[in-house]
Each structure stands twice: as structure tokens, then as C-alpha cells.
Structure 1
Amino acid sequence: MFNIITPTYNRAHTLPRVYKSLIQQTTKTFEWIIVDDGSTDNTYQLISEWIKNTTEFKITYHKLNINKGKSNAVNVAIDLCKEKYTIIADSDDTFVPETISDLKDIWTNNTDNSIGAIWTLTKDESGQIIGDKFPEDYWKVDFKTRVLKHNIEGEKWHCWKTNVLKSNKMILSNECHIGESHTWNHINRSFDFLCINIAHRIYFHSNDGLIATKTSKERKAKVYYNSALIELENVSLNDIIKYKFYRFYAFQYIKSNLYLKRRTNRLSFVKKLTCFVIFMLNIPLKLVRT
């Protein structure tokens, strides 16, 4: 019923957490698909032992020759998915034993074809919920309500209809990593999410994790620039001016240009001018807060 996909790169020291979580699931109607993004540690040897000794569920291992980043590895894994629903389980996290059982019940009882994913909460190692709870339980929400009106913040966990992911793969850039949230926003414009105030995922802080990794100003500028293009390119000027979410990316679009050379992929002149006005109006506020 479920695909659980794990992209990994040199995480043999954290992967046992994921494996232990799967072994402890009260319902094991899933296949675990691991895409190794060119690891040079003992990941292959570790997973080979698990494949040999695990009978409760199937483990599929696929190794890439060249490290191309998490998003590309996720896309490769999506192509390997055969089951109806898909979960992305990071290589350094864990989740509660009832996760698959809960999700199975929710999907079985759901008859709404407009829903593309189930979203649940995330807690940290001490058991504290990370970020905002949803304003209501079993909250069916579109992009405008979730992001533009409520701006729900903090780590969340997701279980997707596989066909939705296959049609809307992770957004890639040759310059930098593009955050998963931009792909989720893109999907949410076409499909509703069913958001439930139950914590499934447990997030572990990792010094070598993607979020914790330090980057240069130029690298950050590339991330913000490309992220701004994704979010602003197909929205109206009125929405850019009206909503805080878009004004944030308008500000970052202009700011990132200060660190980057002339770009060939740019917003239209009118949108760039709008972003510049938003940037100039917000500079005094930024200075006050710093």
C-alpha cells in the first residue's frame, strides 16, 4: 500500500534509526526504497545485510554513480514507486510505531479525490512539537488558505498519493538546492492537503544535515534568487503586493541580485520594478530589527 523512500548520502551512521522505525511499525504494508546518492561510506554493506535478514517488508536499494543532491535522488526513487501512497523518510529521522497504521486508516476512509496528500506534525528529540499546529484537525486546505492566509510554519511530515508525486516531481536547479516547500506549494495549487494534528515524524538535529550546513553568501543568494523566481514568476502583481509571502520573496529577489552576477533567467521588467519598490520600502524595517 505504501512506498517509503529514503534518499541518502554517507549516512550509514544514521540510517539504522530509519530501519529501526520500520521494524517497529505495527503495520508493515510497505516497500522501503533507498536511493544512495553516491555514498563512499559503508552504506551498501549495511543495507545489504538488512535486505538479507529482513522478511517483514521488502527493501529495494538503488545506487547512483554521481552525487547530485537529495531532490534528484527523491525523483529517482519516485520513478521506482509501485504502491498507491508514498512517504519520504529522511536518512537521519525516525517516526512513531503507529505511523503506517494511522495513515492506512486515514487513506482508507478518505473518498475525496481532490486531496493529494496527508500532512501531520513533527516533534523534536525531546518530544516538543516543531512549529505551528494546524488551526483545526482534519483541515482540508488549499495553497491560498495554508500559505497566504495562515502561513503555517515549522517542520511537517507528508504522505502523498504516488501519482501526484510522479506528475509533480521535486523542482531542480543546476545552481543550488531548491527547498522541498516550493514543490509542495506547486502541488497545493492543484490539490488540497488533509492536515491532521498528530505527530508522526521525530526530527533529529544533525551537524552534517542539509539544514545545518553553512553556506556562503553567494550560495545563499542563489537559493533565494531561484526560489523567488519559482514563487513569483506565475503570480499577479496584485498578489505580490498584497501577500506577505510574496513580498518576502520580492525582497529576497532584489537582495540576492547584490551578490550575483548578471542573470539570464529573470522576472519581467514590471515584476522586477515591483520587487525593487518592495525592497526599498522594507529596508528601514530590516535595519530597525537588526
Structure 2
Amino acid sequence: MKTLTVFTPTYNRAYLLPRLYRSLKGQSCKDFIWMIIDDGSTDETLQLVEKWKGEGLVDIEYFYQENQGMSGAHNTAYQHIKTLYNTCIDSDDMMPGNGVELILRSIKSVDDTKDIAGIIGLDADVSGKVLGTLMPTGIESTTLNELHRKDKVTGDKKLVYKTEVMREIEPYPVYPNERLVPLSHKYLLADQKYKMIPVNEIFCLVEYQEDGSTRNMLKQYRRHPKGFAYARITRINLEKGLKEKFKNAIHLVSSGLFSGDYKSWFKSQHTLLVLAAIPFGVLLNLYIRLKTKKNQ
């Protein structure tokens, strides 16, 4: 059995997947499985995968599902992963030639550590420039949330988790006519019980696409309000600082206005805080409507 699963949710990305495939077949370490979660593609994705399987250069597992969005694809991946560790490499990203080798070398220290969920590495652009800041020195272990809030680390980072940890945390809910619950929701839940080891090594090469979720976040807020509300309620309950709780309360109000589910405002442990955030949530909602008007 291989040690690592690299899983890739994809939807109509046949024009980008060959680049990721080239980076994976060129890995210096082959101790990994590439799991492709095809989230309802109608392009040439399946034909490409069958061709690559025939080449036998990468150990590939392929799963097709009706379109459920990014969080639904993550649910499917966690259901099927059999390796000890996993990491998500998106369809528009790549791995450096020694990416798998660096992950497996760095993660050896967490094998028998019960309170460590995995490691956090770096993302870089295609030229190799690290996105955001490096990991602070002198920190043996931390949580993803503390890394961003307390240590002020910025930029996307690559997460490598023990598969058993991801399996014990509840799946992302799937809402009718919605396709996204913020992936950070599951990581925040993991933070409540486990820590991660930060690593100053580049695990992933990123190139943001015009049709990617990162470049379209305001549209995502509008299209998936129940999924975002679900995540905001959790953050209101679990964030330690009042400022962060209030910020998420503002977003919860806005999401409730988009979905019409005003009952969501009363589902956190801090109802008065959410009610105090209503004027600000209304303003945020109007701002998002204005910014996304042309796309509706």
C-alpha cells in the first residue's frame, strides 16, 4: 500500500489536468496514489484518465460523481482514501518534482504522535516564489487557525493530513442547489483536537485561474449562502477573539439575507452578537449584491 494520496477534485478541467499529470509522473518519489474526483465533467476528462492509466506511470484511482461542488468532492475523497496520509492538489495546480519526497520526509515525525494531525507546507507560484509569508521559526507545532491569527502567517498553505483524522470529522453538508461549504470549516474542527507541524518546504505550485473559486469569492458568497452560513456559525462558536466572532456574525447575517433563512441567525451560541451585527450584515449583503450584479 502506498503512503500518500494526492487527490484532485475536478470539473471540466481537461485542458489543465495534463499539466498536473506531467508534474506527478515526474515525481522523484513514487510512493503515492493520484485520486481524481470527477465532479460531473462533460469534457474529455475520462478519456484522458484512461489514457494515463494505460501508460502506467502514475498509480491512478478515478471516481465519478454527479456535480456536488468542491466540498462534496472532498467528502468523496475522504470516503475512498486508503493511505495513511492525504493532500489535495487542485486541478489548476502542480507539484514540484520533489514534492511527494518532501512531504513524506517531513511527515515521518508525526507517524506515532496522537495529538498531531499532519503538516503544513508552503504554496508557491509557478516561478517558485512562496505565496505569502514563511513559517515562523521556533514553533514545533500549532494549529492552522493559530498560524494565521496569532502568528500572522499569510498566503495559501498546503495541508497534509492523517486520513484517520479527516475521517473522524463530520463530512461537509450538501445543500440542494448549492455546491460549496468553505473547506476551512473541516480544518477548524480538526484544530479543536489536533495540532499541525509547520514546514518551510514548497509542496505545491499554484496558478490561479479566472474561473477558479479563489478569484470568484464574492460570487461564491451569493451562490452558496447556506453552506457559508453553516461555516460561519461554527466560527462564531469556536473563534477565541470577539473581533473574529463579530466578523463572522456579520457574514452570517449577509448569508441569511441571501438564503432567506433568518433562523440561521439564532443557531450560534452568541445570538445577541449576531443580532448586533445585523446593520453591518445588511451593508455587506448590499455590497456583495452590487459587486456581483452583472453575474446574476
- TM-score of the superposed pair, with normalisation by structure 2: 0.82
What is aligned with 2:60? 59
Which position in structure 2 is the counterpart of 1:129? 130
Task: Pick one of 7, 17, 22 that aligns with 1:15.
Answer: 17
Contact 1:229 1:267 in 2 (8 A): no
Per-residue CA deviations over 1:140-189 (Å, capped at 9, x if unaligned) read 00366335423533211011111111222552341451111111111111
Q: 1:189-224: CA deviations, max 9, x gaps?
A: 111011112222111121121222362774365454
CA shift, 1:48, in A, is 0.3
Measured against aligned partners, the alpha-carbon deviations of 1:19-73 in whole angstroms (never above 9, x if no partner) come to 1111111110111111111110010111100000124x42111212x11112112
Correspondence for 2:235 among 227, 231, 237: 231
1:53–1:258: structure 2 CA closer, same or farther, 3 Å change rule?
Answer: closer
- Which residue in the other structure is 1:182 paired with? 185
Superposed, 1:1-290 pairs within 5 Å as 1-55=3-57, 57-64=58-65, 66-110=66-110, 111-136=112-137, 139-142=140-143, 145-168=146-169, 170-174=171-175, 175-213=178-216, 215=219, 218-219=222-223, 221-222=225-226, 224-232=228-236, 234-235=237-238, 239=240, 242-268=241-267, 271-277=270-276
In structure 2, distance between residues paired with 1:208 and 1:137: 38
- Range moving further from structure 2, 183-192 or 269-278: 269-278
- Answer whether contact 1:25 1:100 (CA < 8 A) is retained: yes
Structure 2 residue matching 1:140: 3-state secondary structure: coil
What amino acid does structure 1 have at the position aligned with 2:5?
A: N
Mapped to 1, the partners of 2:53 and 2:164 lie a distance apart of 27
Distance 1:258 1:194, change over 3 A: same
Secondary structure, counterpart of 2:133 in structure 1: coil
Distance 2:211 2:61 in 1: 25
**Are the structure 2 counterparts of residues 283 and 148 from structure 1 closer, same or farther at C-alpha, using a change threshold of 3 Å?**
farther
How far apart are residue 11 of structure 1 and its match? 0.6
Report the Cα distance in structure 2 between the residues aligned to 1:227 and 1:44, rounded to whole angstroms. 33
Identity of aligned residues (%): 25
SS in 1 for 2:262: coil
Evaluate the alpha carbon distance shift between residue 24 and residue 143 of structure 1 in structure 2; reply closer, same or farther with a 3 A threshold.
closer
Moved more, 75-84 or 223-232: 223-232
Q: Distance in 1 between matches of 2:215 and 2:143?
A: 30
Which whole-Å deviations, capped at 9, do the CAs of 1:111-160 have from their partners, x for residues lacking one?
43211011101112333222232222664003663354235332110111
- SS of the residue aligned with 2:214? coil
| Distance change (3 Å), C-alpha of 1:87 and 1:16 | same
Q: TM-score, normalised by structure 1?
A: 0.84
Structure 1's unaligned 5+ residue stretches are: 285-290
**Is the contact made by 1:137 and 1:197 (CA closer than 8 Å) also made in structure 2?**
no
| AA at the equivalent of 2:97 | P
User: Unpaired runs of 5+ in structure 2?
Assistant: 284-296
For the aligned residues, what is the CA RMSD? 2.8
Letter in 2 for 1:251: I
How many residues end up aligned between the 2 structures? 277
SS of equivalent residue, structure 1 residue 196: strand
Cα distance in 2 between the residues matched to 1:69 and 1:283 = 27
Check conservation: 1:224, 1:249, Cα contact below 8 A: no
User: Hey, what's the Cα distance between the residues in 1 that align with 2:276 and 2:166?
Assistant: 37
2:190 partner letter: I
